Chain A
Amino acid sequence: MNARIVAALLLLPMAAQSQGFAGLGTEAQDFARPVPERALEFPADHGPHPDYRIEWWYLTANMTGPDGTSYGLQWTLFRSALAPRDGEGWETPQLWMGHAAVTTPEAHHVAERLARGGVGQAGVQADPFLAWIDNWAMEGPDFDNLRLTASGSDFAYDVELRAAGPLVRHGQDGYSVKSAAGQASYYYSQPFFELSGTLTLPAGDVPVTGAAWLDREWSSQPLAEDQQGWDWFSLSFDSGDKLMGFVLRGSTDYTSATLIAADGQATALADGEFAANPLEWHNVAERQVPTTWQVSLPAEGVDVTVTALNPDAWMQTSVPYWEGPVTVTGSHNGVGYLEMTGYD
C-alpha cells in the first residue's frame, strides 16, 4: 500500500465526494451532528465519540532548551469513522491516525502512524486518561497530569504535562460554529499545560521546559462544502492572556476566536472580529505558504506579527499541511502555534 492509497483510505468516508479540505466538508449522512444545547461532560468527553465522523486530540507545545534554543512539539491523534458505530476486531469502522513532530529552528522531524480500531493498536479511554497509537501515548491518572511520548525514525520525545489552569470551552460553551451556514463542532482546550521533559534528536537528547496547549474537537461535518482550508492560531502572550483564532477560507472567509484571560476566563468573538492577513509567503514542498502573518483583534487591542520559527515546518503526511511554532511581536509579545491547511 502506498501513501496515496492510505491517504485515500483514511479520508475515504469524506474523500468519496471530497468536499472542503480533506473531505471535512462532506455531508454528515448518518453521523451525529453537534447541537448547541448539549453541555460538555467530563471526564467522559475526554474519550472518543464514535458516532461522530471525525475527532482529534491535538497537542502543541512551545519549549526552550538549556541554551535558550526554541523548540516546538506536536502530538496528534485523529479518529476517522467509516460508519457511525464502534466494534471489536478488524470489522470496526473506526480508523486512527497519529502525527508527531518536533520543530527546531533548523529542522522539522515528522512521523505518522495509521491503525485500525478494534484490535488494541490505537484508541482513547477517558478515565484514567489514555490516548495511544502504537507506542505513542498521552497518558495519566487524570486529564491534568499527563505523560506524552512518541518516536519516529529520527526523533523521539518523552515529556510530562501539568495543567496550571482550567479547561476552556470555545464558542457557545464548547459548541463552535465553523461557517455562516452553521457547520459546527464541539471544541474545548486545555491551554495551561506546563511542560518538562526530553527531546531525542539526531544530535542527542535535549532537556526542555515550556508550555503546551491541548485542543479537543469532534464533529461530523465541521466545514462548509466551499471551505478549502483554514489558518489556525494558538497564541500565548507574555501577559498571561491567550488567543485562539482561526480563519476558514471559503467563498467568503469565516473567522472565530476565543480570548482567554490568565485566569481562564474565555471571551468568544464573533465572525469578523478576528483578522489574520499574510505578510510573507514561503516556498515549501513545491507550494507557497504564508509563514508570517498580521493578526489583529481590534476590539481587544491586539495587533501582532506572527512569525514561524521554522518556515519549513511542513507535515509531509497522508494529508499534508503546515504546522509549527511561531513567535509573536507587536502589541503583545509571546509564542504560539500556527496550523495551515488547504494550500495545494
Chain B
Amino acid sequence: MTGVILSALASHWRRSPLQLLTLLLGLALATALWSGVQAINAEARASYASAAGTLGEGQFAQIMASDGSPLPQQTYTALRRAGWLVSPVIEGRFGPVQIVGLEPLTAPGGLGPVSVDGGGDLAAFLSGSGQIFARADTLARLPDTGVPGVVAPDVAPDTAITDIGLAQRLLDRPGQIDRMVVLPDQPVTRRPLAEVAPGLRLAAPQDGGDVAQLTDSFHLNLTAFGLLSFAVGLFIVHGAIGLAFEQRRAMVRTLRALGAPLQRLILVMAVELAVLALVAGTIGVALGYVIAAALLPDVAATLRGLYGAEVSGQMTLRPTWWLSGLAIALVGTAVAASGALWSLARMPLLGGAHPRAFSMSHRHRGKSLLALALLLAAAAMAVWGKGLMAGFVMLGALLIGGALTLPPLLTLLLASAEKRAKAPVTQWFWADTRQQVPGLSLALMALMLAMAANVGVSTMVSSFRLTFVGFLDQRLASELYVRVEDPAQAAAIIAAAADHADAVLPLLSADLEIAGRQAEILGVRDHATYRDNWQFLRASPDVWDRLAEGDGVLVNEQMYRRAGLDLGADVALGQGVSLPVLGIYGDYGNPAGQVIVTEDLFRSLFPDVIPQQFGLRVDPDQVTTLRDRLRDEAGVPVSAMIDQAAVKAASLAIFERTFTVTTALNVLTLAIAGFAILMSLLTLAGMRLPQLAPVWALGLTRRRLAALDLLRTLLLAALTGAVALLLGLALAWALLAVVNVEAFGWRLPMYLFPLDYLRLGLLALLAAAVAALWPAWRLSRTPPAQLLGVFRNER
C-alpha cells in the first residue's frame, strides 16, 4: 500500500516538475547559503588570526638587550643552562620580506608555523637544506635562497618563518639573536637574570588587546550574519514546502477517501520530504563549497580552515562538513514542514479542498498580533535586556516580527490606496493586488528578510570599517612608531631621527587614579598630526587650541561612560590640578579609561616619566630608510617599530576581502528571494485565471493585464523594500548598539550609506522584475479559449 501511496504522491512531481525544482532548489540554496557563510566565517577567523599575529605581537614575555642591540647566541645558552626556559628569535629584512627565525624545540606552543606538523619534512626544517614558511604571495616575493618554500596562509603578510640556524645564515648574522621568548612555565630553580647575563631586560607580555577585541567584535557580527542568512534560507524552504503541501491537499483528501490511512500518508510524506531534503542538501553542500571557493580570494586558507590541514591545494571535503550541511537541510526541512504536516494531520476528511494558503486572510489577525508581540519583545529587550543572549533573542524577535508584519502592513497600505482610487481599472488594480498578497506573502517575506539582512550587514560592515579606519588614522597618525626602553635609547632615537624625520612626537603615559578608577594619562605634543586626524564623539569648540593652552583635558569614551565625565566636567589629575573635559574620543578596544593632556602639563605632573614611545612623521617613501637607520644607529630592534602603512594595508586588505564576500552574498540572497517570487507567481498564475477572465471579458487586453501584473509585482517588491530598509536599519542598530555593547562594552557608531541602499533597492526590484517577466509574458499569451473556459467550467 505504501508503494501505491508513494507513487500517487510522486506522480504529482512528475506532472509539476517546476514545483519539484522549486522545492529542491529552495532547499539546496538555503543549505548552500548556510554552508557558504560558515565557510566564509571560518575564512574571516583565519584572516583575523593572521592579522592579529601581525598587529598584536608579543603574547609572551621577552628578554632582550637593554639597549635593543643583538645578543650573542651564547647568552641564550647561558640562560638555558641557568634554568631559564627561553627560546631564541632572530629577525631581519631579507629583501622585501621580514625573516623570523625560531627554534622549534624550545619555542612555546602557538608560535611559529602551525602547519609544520601537517606537511613538509621536519628534519629538513631543523637542519639540512631547511624550509621557509610564508604565504604564497610572500614566497613569490622572496629572493631566491635555494631553500624550499612552504605555503603557510596563517603566517602574517610579508613575513617568512624559518629555523633560527637558517635565518642566521640568510641574514648573515651567525651566532646572533635579537631576543628570547620566555615560556610561561619556569622551573623552581633559576639563577637571577642579572647574575647570568647583565644588560638584559625582561619585558612583560603586552596585552595587545586593542585589535584583537575589535576583530572579535567583527567576528561576532559575522556570526550574526550567519544566523540571518540561515533565517532567510529557512523562510525560502518554508515557502517551498508550504507550496508543495498546499498543492497536494486535494490529492491527500482523495487518497484518504479511497482508503489510505492518515498515519501512513503522513509517514510517507515525511519520508518523501526527508529524501528530497537529503538530495537537496547534497546539492546545497556542494554549492556552498563552490560559493566558498569562488568568493574567497585565498582559497587555500579557507580550505585549510575548513577541511583540515592538507595545504597543497588538494581539496578534501571533510565528512563533518557534509554531515552538518545535510543535518541543516534535514532540520530546516523538518522545521519548515512540521507546520504543514501538522495541519495536514488535522485537515478534516470532508469539506472544501481548496488550497489554503491562498485564502489565509482570516489568519492575518493572529499573525499580526504575534508580529506585534515579537516587535514589542524586541523593543523591551533593547531597553531592559541584559547580556549577549538577550541581544541575540532580540535580533531573532526583530527579524521574525518584522517579517510577519509585512503582509498585514501591505494589505493595509493597498486597502487605503484602493479607497483613494477613482478610475475603475485603478480601483480593480489595487483590490486585485491586495488579493495577491496572501499568495505572495511567503516569497515577499523572504525578499524582505534577504534585503533586511543585506542592509543590516552592509551597514554593520561599512560602519565597522569607517570606525576602524578612523581609529587607525587617529591612533597611527605617524608613519612610524618606536617603543623605547630607557632615556639613552630615547636620546639615540631623537638623534638618529632628527635629520630624517619631519617630526618626532614623544608619547608620554602614566597610570593614574581618576574618579576612583584606574586610568591611563597620556601627554601629547601639540602638533598638526593630532589636529588633522583625531575625531571626537563630542567636543567643545576650539578643542585643540584650548587643550594646547592647558585649559582642559580629553577623555576616551570608556572614561566618559563609566565615570560619567561629560563635556565640562572637572577631572582631578592630582597635585591640586583639576581641569574640565574638552572632548570625548572613541577608543575602540581599549578596556581602560584614558585622559589626554598636553606634554607640558604631563611633564609637570610626572617629571620622572620618560617617553615610552615616539611617533615619527616622515615621508612615507622614507619609512624603510628610517627604520634601517634606527636599527643600525639607535639599536632599536625591528620588533619595537611599527610601520603604520603596513598595519593599515593589512587591515584594509582584510576588509576588502570581507566586502567581496558580503557583496557576493548580497547578490546571492537576493537571487534566491527573486527565485522564490518567480515560483510563487507561477503557482498563482493558474489560479488567477478565474480572477482575470472577468476583467478580460469586460474589455482589458491580455497585454494590458500582463503589464499590470508586472507592475503589481514591482509595486509589491518596492513596498517590501521600503519596509525591509527600516527593518535592516533596525538590525544594524541592534548589531552595533546592542549586541556589540553586550559583548564588548562599547558601542560602534552607526553610519548610513544611502547610495548602497538605493543600489540594493534597485537590485531587489530587478530581481522581482526578472521573476515577474516570464509569468507576465505567459499571461499575455494565454489563449482566449482558456479564458473563456473559466466561464464554461465554473461549477
Contact = CB atoms under 8 A, between A and B. Distances in A.
On whether A and B touch (CB less than 8 Å), the answer reads yes
A111 interface: yes
**Interface SS majority for chain B:** loop
Nearest to A93: B127
A9 B189 contact: no
Given A91-B127, A135-B83, A1 B111 contact: yes
B140 interface: no
B107 A1 contact: yes
Given A9-B122, A153-B185, A120 B74 contact: yes
Contact of B117 (A8, A89, A154, A200): A8
Most chain B beta carbons < 10 A, residue from A5, A89, A111: A5
B538 interface: no
Interface in A1-44: 1-6, 8-10, 12-13
Most chain A beta carbons < 10 A, residue from B82, B107, B111, B126: B126
Nearest to B117: A5
Contacts of B190: 135, 151
Contacts of A200: 188-189
B242 interface: no
B591 interface: no
B116 interface: yes
Given A4-B117, A9-B126, A92-B127, A151 B187 contact: yes
B635 interface: no
Contacts of A119: 73, 76-77
Interface in B163-182: 163-166, 168, 174
B188 A154 contact: yes
A90 B189 contact: no
A156 B189 contact: yes
Contacts of B314: none
Contacts of B383: none
Contact residues on A (Cβ < 8 Å of other chain), bracket: 35 or more
Interface stretch (B98-106, B462-470, B495-503, B609-617): B98-106
A326 B76 CA distance: 39
A73 to B, nearest CB: 15
Most chain A beta carbons < 10 A, residue from B83, B174, B191: B83
A115 B80 contact: yes
Given A153-B185, A153-B187, A132 B127 contact: no
A116 B355 CA distance: 78
B81 interface: yes
Contacts of B350: none
A1 B127 contact: no
A116 B109 contact: no
Contacts of A121: 76-77, 80-81
Contacts, number: 101
B81 A132 contact: yes
Contacts of A82: 123, 126-127
Contact of B187 (A2, A13, A156): A156
Contacts of A155: 188
Contacts of B111: 1
Contacts of B168: 90
A2 B185 CA distance: 14
A114 interface: yes
Nearest to B166: A90
A111 B187 contact: yes
A48 interface: no
Given A8-B117, A90-B165, A116-B126, A151 B105 contact: no
Contacts of A273: none
Interface string B178-212: 00000001111111000000000000000000000
A90 B163 contact: yes
Contacts of B26: none
Interface of A: 1-6, 8-10, 12-13, 82-83, 89-93, 95, 111, 114-116, 119-121, 132, 134-135, 151-156, 200
Interface of B: 73-74, 76-77, 80-83, 85, 103-112, 116-117, 122-123, 126-127, 163-166, 168, 174, 185-191
Counting from the closest, the 5 A-B pairs by CB-CB distance are: A90-B165, A135-B83, A151-B187, A114-B105, A151-B189
